[in-house]
Amino acid sequence: MVQTAARLCRAEIAGIAIRSGDLYRYVATFSLDREWDQMLRTMTFALERQPVYVADVAADPEFAVPGAVTLGGMRTSVAAAG
């Protein structure tokens, strides 16, 4: 499923998170190195009830994911909660 999501979004990496109460946590990833995958799976985060697009996570002061750029090489983020 996560590989299909990456393909549909034309993304190099992808992850799927599930909701637990008001927070989400990653349960599956695609094309991440082991260290980045392990870091993501320890994090919890909140999502709005609408799609969220961040064009450049390095320049967005509200994008508080430690290591997203330096460890994960992440620059753009798309998230949707249902």
Give 21-74 pLDDT, tens digit per residue: 989 999 999 988 888 899 889 989 888 788 888 899 888 888 877 677 777 788
Residue 3 has pLDDT above 80, yes or no: yes
For the record, the structure tokens of 51 come out as 């799609």
Q: Which of 71, 69, 21 has its CA nearest to residue 45?
A: 21
* Sign, Cα dihedral of 27, 15, 81, 56: positive
Predicted confidence at residue 77, as pLDDT, reads: 87
